[in-house]
A and B are shown apart, each in its own frame.
Chain A
Amino acid sequence: MKRLFIPLTLALIASPALATPKDALVYQIASATASVEPVQAVVTYDVLPVQQMFEGLYLDNFGKYEPLLATSSTLSKDGKTTTFNLRKNVKFHDGSTMNCADAEYSMRRTLLVGSETSLASQIRANMLNISGFTPEVKKTYTFAKLSSMVKCNAAGQLVLTLDRNVPSLLDSIAQIYIVPMKALVAGGDWSGTAKDFDAFIGKDVANSTLAQKPIGTGAYQFVARDPSRFVLKGFDGYWGGAPALKNVILQKVDSDTARVLALQKGDADIALIPDRDTLAKLKGVPSVKVYEDLPTQNLTSVLLFNQSIKDDKLLPAGQLAENNIPANFFSDIHVRKAFAAMFDTKTFVKDGLQGFGLARNTSLPTNNWADDKTLKPPAYNLKTAEAEMKLAFGGKLWATGFTVPLSTFGGSGLSVVVAGIFKQNIEALNPKFHASVSTLELSAANASLLGGKLAFSALTWGGADPDTNLRGLFSATGILAPATNIKDPKMEQMMDTARDTVGQNARKPLYKTLMTYLNAQTYAVPLPQPLVFAATVSSLKGYENFNKTNLFKVLSK
């Protein structure tokens, strides 16, 4: 309803735009920054200020890892030990100089504190294979273990020694932010010793001293905040040179209309635009620059089939009926192939993404180094779908028919488009084929997904390394295992081999083989990747680069 007013707003605007100062950036967002504790922050508008104030040893520059507070690193032959050479003359916002002890403390702290929903928890899962600090884990996770894992050597290098080769290590390293040890300890944080190790293990530090008064090495330093603003200023002592925009205000504005108005009037330099319809209306407004097709980073959208649906209303495995499906419906490869062939990607891009979707070849993000544009995923073809359906369940499915439950998620237009495409094509294929569509509220949908109750689900997944992505999606040990129930030892073996091989060049062909196999098994259908849209004032430069790095320091006017 509110969005109906936006076109009217655009029509009514007549007054000239009054720009924000040339050295300032006002970025209007839809939800406020909560905690900027770097080990906790995972939500977009918590992460955004964190990335401006804090830096890691490496930077994820759109899938390419570049040294940041490290100048280089070396990896041992077995892939277990990484040695980082640290950048010299790096200052913290409090004026102190970064040294190896700070890097050591920061890495140890990240591997120690943070609740189960924190960034630190994700980092621990990736680096240490710890899914949580259970009593069993706590028994062996000691200060001695942590300090032998992360330590400075006599040459002032930081040495990280893990139990195994972690292919996505740099992804985690890029998210371990370096903080000043002395300031934190003085503020009552972990002492960095065994003394209070137990008190800080897995501790939720969202309200830490660091969250209240952030001190990092980033191009921007914290000034102040109130319930709707987070204010930063350029750090004069920044090792990479002071940023062009001296002052930044992240301002929470709930109303879509108000944000769009502010952008047009020059009260905001960047404003979160609610949808492409609004974006289209902004095209041609002289003071506004519109971006329609920016790339996404480390994100992949897939349609996953559940091979063992945990829903009592379904038929037992192997039984068929026109008004239902068996719990193991998607364990039959012909059913999966038929469904993949029924998914009309062109309609999905047109109706769901308003024409702005990137074709996909694999289930990996399009910016991932292992993505391979030569691979051919299942394609839309109703004749193939018919042929596969006739083979399914030994040919019985075509004669018996089925009714498949399709779920749409409240608030997600894409899930409605997906369900619509399937319903239309399923029912056109055979009069005994049916689809029943129901709507689930989003948290209920996520709980159902986790409980393995959904027949199949379209979701967005992320991760910088191919192992993180593919294991999460397909492995029996992955997070989404309850939602897919894939049991494929051959695939697991291929996945483990690709993970344990050291070096991108050696791993790349292994992933090509793995993804060829995945496409053939049709455990999932890669969905066209939605492109990012945005709008800024026309005087703002560098937004394309900002979209890739998330760093305000690349922006100027």
Chain B
Amino acid sequence: MLSFVLRRLLALPLILLAVTFLIVLVMQLIPVEQRAVAYTTDLAQLGRIQEIIKTNHLDGSVFEQYWRWLGQALGGNLGYSRTSGQPVLQTLLARFPATLELALFTLVPLISLSVWMGSKAAVRRGRTADAVIRVIAVVAYSTPSFVLGVWLLVIFYGALNLLPGTGNLSNDSAIYFLTGEIKRVTGLTTIDALLAGRLDVFWDAIKHLIMPVFTLMVVGSAGLIKGTRTSMLEALNSDYIRTARAKGIAEGVVIRKHARRNALLTIITLAGLSVSGLLQGAVIAETLFGYPGVGAWAAQAAALGDLPGVLGFALLAATVVVLMNLAIDLAYTVIDPRVRYA
């Protein structure tokens, strides 16, 4: 088991190398002058394109450019992000806690609700509950997240005035963090507010989380509901379930202990993918709700051709995906004793 984990962790740098190299490689498809133009902010700077190319070594081969970036990165310098006006590493460290907080608040309700709904639909197959849940899944699947987000803003912020509009805190609460009155301990706004004993700020942060969390949940739930339902149906139709029922075991126990446990392998795989998908969803949700996480920054960096920023986000995203896959593989061994890694 340990050697399996080590092997997977050792593969991480190779994956990161491949991902970042691919990004640099794809960037070469854009002519050098055009890439240099992305560094400019007004027409007057167009006259300095040759300087920009030289300063940023844009005219070197893809290997030279990649090697230069890699040399810096290995020294702990991921470059400077023009989008944030800060070094990439500093930007990631400053923004990742907000994305993590968003993901954590999304994950628990997303997975528990989706698994519950998928199981319910499978158990009640062909009945009203199944039909309703399937419709919900289809609607969730086909609703563009930005449309949903705008509707939420219009209704709950604009019309009903129930929830705050954008950001992770109102300006009044944010000042406490900005002036150091509330210390940044974990980086998670809700936890830090609680640690400071500021329930008002905690509640403010929670209110700011509701709309982006709901948007991410809707986006991520469809696949998980449908996957759980299919997996549960498969389990419920298997021989061991028939045997369990024949032995007179209560239906609730059959579902919880036998069917759902056996369906868990698929569910966990899908849930793991949902976690990875959350990073992509965060790009839209954070942009829409002005949530100051890495997603909103990455979207802007990509739009402005901020290559160090894009590479920094890719490193983070790839690391999350690899670690998530590792966690899924390890979870298999806990759920199914037959699974062994050498």
Q: Report A's interface with B, CB cutoff 8 A.
A: 1-2, 5, 8-9, 12-15, 26, 31-36, 42-43, 46, 115-117, 121-122, 125, 131-132, 134, 204, 206-207, 211, 223-229, 231, 249, 251-255, 257-258, 261-262, 264-265, 267, 443-444, 446-447, 449-451, 459-463, 472, 479-480
The answer to whether A5 and B49 have CB atoms under 8 Å apart is no
The answer to whether A462 and B166 have CB atoms under 8 Å apart is no
Check if B123 is an interface residue, CB within 8 A of chain A.
no
Whole-angstrom distance from the CB of A144 to the nearest CB of chain B? 25
Check if B23 is an interface residue, CB within 8 A of chain A.
no
Whole-angstrom distance from the CB of B290 to the nearest CB of chain A? 5
Known contacts A117-B40, A462-B44; is-contact A254 B157 (Cβ 8 Å):
no
Segment at the A interface, from B76-84, B246-254, B310-318, B325-333 = B76-84
Known contacts A9-B158, A226-B177, A479-B46; is-contact A117 B87 (Cβ 8 Å):
no
**A226 / chain B contacts, CB cutoff of 8 Å:** 94, 174, 177-178, 292
> CB-nearest residue of chain A relative to B288?
A255
Check if B34 is an interface residue, CB within 8 A of chain A.
yes
Residues in B12-47 with C-beta less than 8 Å from chain A? 31, 33-34, 36-47
Check if B52 is an interface residue, CB within 8 A of chain A.
yes
Segment at the A interface, from B65-73, B145-153, B192-200 = B145-153
The answer to whether A251 and B171 have CB atoms under 8 Å apart is yes
Check if B179 is an interface residue, CB within 8 A of chain A.
yes
Instruction: Annotate B134-168 by CB proximity to A: 1 below 8 A, 0 otherwise.
Output: 00000000000011011101110111110001110
The answer to whether A34 and B287 have CB atoms under 8 Å apart is no
Whole-angstrom distance from the CB of A8 to the nearest CB of chain B? 6
Q: Cα distance A463–B146 when bound, in Å?
A: 39
Q: State the main secondary structure of chain B at its contact with A.
A: helix
What 4 A-B pairs come out closest when comparing CB atoms? A34-B85, A224-B178, A479-B47, A227-B292
**B91 / chain A contacts, CB cutoff of 8 Å:** 227
In the complex, which of the residues A31, A207, A224, A443 contacts B179, with contact meaning CB atoms closer than 8 Å?
A: A224
The answer to whether A227 and B94 have CB atoms under 8 Å apart is yes
21 contacts between A and B (CB under 8 A): A1-B147, A12-B158, A12-B159, A13-B158, A34-B83, A34-B85, A35-B85, A116-B45, A131-B51, A206-B80, A207-B80, A207-B85, A224-B178, A226-B177, A255-B153, A255-B290, A262-B165, A443-B34, A446-B46, A449-B46, A459-B43
The answer to whether B154 and A257 have CB atoms under 8 Å apart is yes
The answer to whether B33 and A207 have CB atoms under 8 Å apart is no
The answer to whether A117 and B167 have CB atoms under 8 Å apart is no
Q: Cα distance A295–B258 when bound, in Å?
A: 73
The answer to whether A31 and B300 have CB atoms under 8 Å apart is yes
Whole-angstrom distance from the CB of A245 to the nearest CB of chain B? 14
The answer to whether A479 and B175 have CB atoms under 8 Å apart is no
The answer to whether B55 and A116 have CB atoms under 8 Å apart is yes
Q: Cα distance A500–B151 when bound, in Å?
A: 60
Known contacts A117-B48, A447-B37; is-contact A15 B290 (Cβ 8 Å):
no
> CB-nearest residue of chain A relative to B184?
A226
**A227 / chain B contacts, CB cutoff of 8 Å:** 84, 91, 94-95, 98, 292, 297
Q: Cα distance A1–B150 when bound, in Å?
A: 10
**B31 / chain A contacts, CB cutoff of 8 Å:** 447
Whole-angstrom distance from the CB of A38 to the nearest CB of chain B? 13
Known contacts A9-B158, A115-B55, A443-B305; is-contact A258 B47 (Cβ 8 Å):
no
Q: Cα distance A273–B110 when bound, in Å?
A: 35
Check if B296 is an interface residue, CB within 8 A of chain A.
yes
> CB-nearest residue of chain A relative to B31?
A447
Identify which of B39, B150, B289, B292 gathers the most chain A CB atoms within 10 Å of its CB. Answer: B150
Check if B86 is an interface residue, CB within 8 A of chain A.
yes
The answer to whether A15 and B48 have CB atoms under 8 Å apart is no
The answer to whether B175 and A231 have CB atoms under 8 Å apart is yes
Identify which of A227, A262, A460 gathers the most chain B CB atoms within 10 Å of its CB. Answer: A227
